[in-house]
Amino acid sequence: MAKNDLRKEQALAYHAKGRPGKIEVIPTKKAKTQRDLALAYSPGVAEPCLEIARNVENVYKYTAKGNLVAVISNGTAVLGLGDIGPEAGKPVMEGKGVLFKIFADIDVFDIEVNEKDPQKFVEIVKALEPTFGGINLEDIKAPECFYIEQELRKQMNIPVMHDDQHGTAIISAAALINALEIQKKKIDRVKFVVNGAGAAAMACVLLYQELGAKPSNFLMFDKHGVLSKDRTDLEEMKLPFANATRELSLAEAMKGADVFIGLSAGNTVSADMVKSMAKNPIVFAMANPDPEISWEAATGARKDIIMATGRSDYPNQVNNVLGFPYIFRGALDVRARVINTEMKLAAVRALAGLAKMPVPDIVNLAYNQEKMAFGADYIIPKPLDPRLLTAVAPAVARAAMETGVAYHQIHDWEHYSRELDKRLGVDNQVLRAMGAKARSAPKRIVFAEGENVKILKAAQIVLDEGIGYPQLIGDKKEIEVIAAENSIDISGMVIFDPRSEDMIEKRKEYGDLFFRKRARKGYTKEEAHKLMKERNHFGCMMVEQGDADCMLAGLTKKYDEAIRPALQIIGTEPGVNRVAGMYLVMTKKGPLFLADTTVNFNPTAEELAEIVLLTAKEVKAFNLTPRIAMLSYSNFGSSKSPESRLVSQARMLVKEKMPDLIVDGEMQANIALNNGLLQEIYPFSDLVGQQVNTLIFPNLASGNIAYNILLEIGSTDAVGPIVMGLKKPVHLLQLGSTVSNIVNMAMIAVIDAQLKTKPPVTDDRKGTRLLKRKTD
């Protein structure tokens, strides 16, 4: 399948699967009991209604208005796809809602309006003012968008921003300042060629002029050619940009130009045009989804170029996603009534400045780069940089206050920054960083259940996303049929069938080794050889013998059956007497690790202590400081039962071995997760002032039950079970895991392999050596 077909298929499946689309509405208040409902709705709801009727300002106090932005479009200029209509634009608007939420914790209603008449459109949007704290106009074509935004800014008392104009202008201006600095050019001297004379292009030119660019230094093009005074077909909005004194082709205009700005349509610029530009040129080809000229063509044309596109798969992504979440966050937080030029310039400076700061590890990890630093391929921060929120939102908020457009004042900026950080949570960051870490050194990963369709789908994602090199165990023909039926591309994967003739030699090698390991544990040599036809044993042997780096199994087997081969063949780490299982659950308060959820039925105090130590080590592998609560049904000796005493005894054993570990118990789960309550009742606890991120359960029943309840009824995402204590990375899936569970577990297995295995001696990174040998 061609790469584009794959992208198309995956994108369509992503939008269609499960609940169609990308968003849902989630209540923020408890609405479970009769009492809750009486408060949330009638009769209780009448009280806030009356308060708001008394003073309309109270709408910010009692409703979601203050954090709610409307992303509104009529679908007339959707990306670079043109006038495809409001319904066709909806996926983009939902997508912006997702970005507002994940990057700035702003809630969005996407509103697609079937109205092209600018005046009527204005009336519709204006009438929505009571609902929203801000209005993000999106993908509305020029010239109508100018009138619409201008009128709404005048008529509405909440911030209105047409993002294709100002978002793009802000981001590209930040990138431009930095690119000019690197190319040692002055903004008031450089000559610009701008392809596109629409919403985005005009706003960019105007903002660059605010930064010092000379109006006469721009040559602008629309679909019909260069904007010149001679043209009689130009709309009024285009006249101020009509600088050309004669008719001129784009190729002619590009000769000797310093900066090219593309906000038009894909593939409209050639490599020759780029070659003809002045020394040290800057090319921002920002049309979506395909830029005016590809990254390869432009950077291939000359070495002295600084190149940027709107795409996420190349360096220097100049895309308005770097701006709108943070600009609105700042504007909402001070209740700005507009987004004015000073606020936009503040965002430009904040973004440009952030690109010059040292890049934190989490960003390098997320982009699979060892070292990103300010320079030609890093002129603007990356969209996944978690510092964007605290860099841009306060700058915008401050500018709003200084220019007198803020209804609300922020006094304690440090506190504000901390609150912003909290909004992001670390769960997304953890998952993103995990993915990036896995991708930084992908490993050969054995999937023991190759004939399972979920496994095959996950394996394809693992391969496509560069997480690892899947090695499938199973019947080759059967795997191929299932893959074909489900349009899964397995061409880059290696298949091993332990039952096949091809594997006789391997079965013998593995069987002999197994016999040596288990001879005194009741196995005959024949039994050992026979056992190697079994997929989990064969897979574990591949890992043990270095024919693979890690393994995932257990999707269709009971846990104790699935883990047995790993214990028999691989065994525990030196100095460790047992294995245990851990889940990572993503919660609103951040990641929460739960253990033991899978292996040890009724651990003794010594065993529980060992589980704590294993878990602490694993949490540290995620670069997080473990803050551990050891759970029971009592608090710090309030019950003298043997179960409660066992937990506090285990805690003492842990403390003896690791005095600095932040761990306390025994305690109840609600006390562990509610620091206010802990401080109030048990102020002596080690966990006062600490946000607990690890829960240790007293036995398997409680751990497993708690985990499954959380997953089924909470809106949590989880990764696990992560096996702890094995010498080599074998991980087991839970019966019925979803494809995304499997992919997440593959990341865990690869990261574990990175920690536990040395780089392969040969360059057989994809694991084809075994196959080659068999066919020799």
Ligand X SMILES: NC(=O)C1=CN([C@@H]2O[C@H](COP(=O)(O)OP(=O)(O)OC[C@H]3O[C@@H](n4cnc5c(N)ncnc54)[C@H](OP(=O)(O)O)[C@@H]3O)[C@@H](O)[C@H]2O)C=CC1
Side-by-side strand order, sheet with 259-262: 225-226, 218-222, 192-195, 259-262, 282-285, 306-309
Q: x/- binding map, residues 127-146, to ligand PYR, per CB under 6 A? A: ------------x-------
Q: Which residue in the set 253, 283, 286, 467 belongs to the binding site for ligand X (CB under 6 A)?
A: 286
Which amino acid does the sequence have at 481?
A: V
Q: Residue 195's closest CA among 293, 323, 82?
A: 293
Q: Which residue in the set 107, 164, 544, 547 belongs to the binding site for ligand PYR (CB under 6 A)?
A: 164
Catalytic residue among 41, 120, 407, 657: 41
On whether the CB atoms of residues 101 and 26 are closer than 8 A, the answer is no
Q: What's the min distance (Å) between Cβ of 377 and ligand PYR?
A: 21
- Report the partner that residue 482 touches, choosing among ligand X, Mg ion, ligand PYR, none (CB closer than 5 to 8 A by kind): none
Considering beta carbons, is residue 168 or 757 the nearer one to ligand X? Answer: 168
Considering beta carbons, is residue 139 or 607 the nearer one to Mg ion? Answer: 139
Which amino acid does the sequence have at 710?
A: L
* Residue 471 binds ligand X, judged by CB under 6 A: no
Sequence-distant (≥ 6) Cβ neighbours of residue 114 within 8 angstroms: 74, 86
Q: Which residue in the set 319, 390, 600, 685 belongs to the binding site for ligand PYR (CB under 6 A)?
A: 319
- Asked about 469 being catalytic, the answer comes back as no
Q: Which residue in the set 217, 294, 299, 320 belongs to the binding site for ligand PYR (CB under 6 A)?
A: 320
Residue, CB closest to ligand PYR:
288
Q: What's the min distance (Å) between Cβ of 234 and ligand X?
A: 9
* Residue 288 binds ligand PYR, judged by CB under 6 A: yes
Side-by-side strand order, sheet with 730-732: 494-496, 468-473, 443-447, 550-553, 730-732
Q: Cα 213 to the chain's mean position, in Å?
A: 36
Q: What are the angstrom distances between the C-alpha of 697 and each of 295, 583, 584, 599, 637? A: 53, 12, 14, 12, 16
Q: What are the angstrom distances between the C-alpha of 245 and each of 101, 234, 257? A: 47, 15, 16
Considering beta carbons, is residue 168 or 452 the nearer one to ligand X? Answer: 168
Q: Which residue in the set 61, 224, 229, 255 belongs to the binding site for ligand X (CB under 6 A)?
A: 224
Q: Residue 329's closest CA among 92, 126, 101, 22?
A: 101
* Residue 221 binds ligand X, judged by CB under 6 A: yes
Sequence-distant (≥ 6) Cβ neighbours of residue 607 within 8 angstroms: 578, 600
* Residue 460 binds ligand PYR, judged by CB under 6 A: no
- Asked about 41 being catalytic, the answer comes back as yes
Beta bridge pairs of residue 283: 260, 307
Q: Residue 200's closest CA among 378, 351, 323?
A: 323
Q: What's the min distance (Å) between Cβ of 318 and ligand X?
A: 6
* Residue 265 binds ligand X, judged by CB under 6 A: yes
Catalytic residue among 96, 191, 443, 457: 96
Q: What's the min distance (Å) between Cβ of 502 and ligand X?
A: 51
* Residue 389 binds ligand X, judged by CB under 6 A: no
* Residue 222 binds ligand X, judged by CB under 6 A: yes
Side-by-side strand order, sheet with 662-667: 662-667, 627-631, 694-696, 590-595, 580-587, 717-724
On whether the CB atoms of residues 231 and 200 are closer than 8 A, the answer is no
Q: Which residues bind Mg ion (CB under 5 A)?
A: 139, 164
- Report the partner that residue 223 touches, choosing among ligand X, ligand PYR, Mg ion, none (CB closer than 5 to 8 A by kind): ligand X
* Residue 142 binds ligand X, judged by CB under 6 A: yes
Q: Which residue in the set 110, 112, 164, 666 belongs to the binding site for ligand X (CB under 6 A)?
A: 164
3-state secondary structure of 590: strand
| φ, ψ dihedrals at 49, nearest 5° | -60, -45
Q: x/- binding map, residues 64-103, to ligand X, per CB under 6 A? A: -------------x-xx-----------------------
- Catalytic residue positions, numbered: 41, 96
Contact positions vs ligand X (CB under 6 A): 77, 79-80, 141-142, 164, 168, 195-201, 221-224, 263-265, 268, 286-288, 310, 318-320
Binding residues vs ligand PYR (CB under 6 A):
79, 139, 164, 288, 310, 319-320
